[in-house]
Structure 1
Amino acid sequence: MHMTHDSAAPAAPPIAFEQFLAVDIRVGTIVEALPFPQARKPAYRLTIDFGPAIGRKTSSAQITEHYALDELVGRQVAAVVNFPPRQIGPVMSEVLTLGFPDAEGRVVLVGPGTTVPDGGRLF
């Protein structure tokens, strides 16, 4: 899956609303953030709690430039929860934590501006 991080890139081709609904994006709270030295690119291993229906999931996130491990726990983030899990080194990444690129292409996490219940689905 190739994703462009170029802010000058044109919008993607139109899709049907049903295709958007097929992507399950939920909010969760980071409950654990650990170093991930085995990753090819600098990354952290996150455990994110998506509430009782989905539970806790792991994610490998390349967010080391903007975030220290100790400031991540307790932060709410958005993630795609219905992609197949991906093996990244010794870690099974179960969800894709979402972010936007800053001016240098470094990841800035996406999350709600106000605390919301974990497990809420983006609409």
Structure 2
Amino acid sequence: MPNLNRRQFLLRSTLAIAATITYDQVLGFVKFPNRFWEKDNLNGWGFFEDEELWHTTWDKPGKTGILHAYLKGKKALEMDAFEGEAQQKKLLQHWEKFLPGVNNYSVQSQFYSWTKDIWSKGGWAYPTDE
């Protein structure tokens, strides 16, 4: 093994770490007329392999509730293939697995793809197994 100086070592280490980090993310905000998940004692927060689910209105009074999805990895890339109402439909179909009845509500949604952003080309960094 070659003898590396500190600068070479740091550069090689940084490149090795960077090779295991991914930057692709899609954000989805979905506003519901009521917080239906609370009737099943669900708090609206969840962490999955390619997704984080946040209940962003947990501390706000009122009936309406907003769930916020941070999609990453393959899930983000799948969502990027859709636009507008098709994105909403795809996300709600996915959520139906752990939020039964989610498709029964008239909702408003907004999505943002960090991967498609011309200035960032990705969101926050997170480690992967690759």
Which has the larger helix fraction?
2
Same fold by TM (over 0.5)?
no
Which has the larger strand fraction?
1
Which protein has the larger Cα radius of gyration, Structure 1 or Structure 2? 2
TM-score by length of structure 2 reads: 0.29
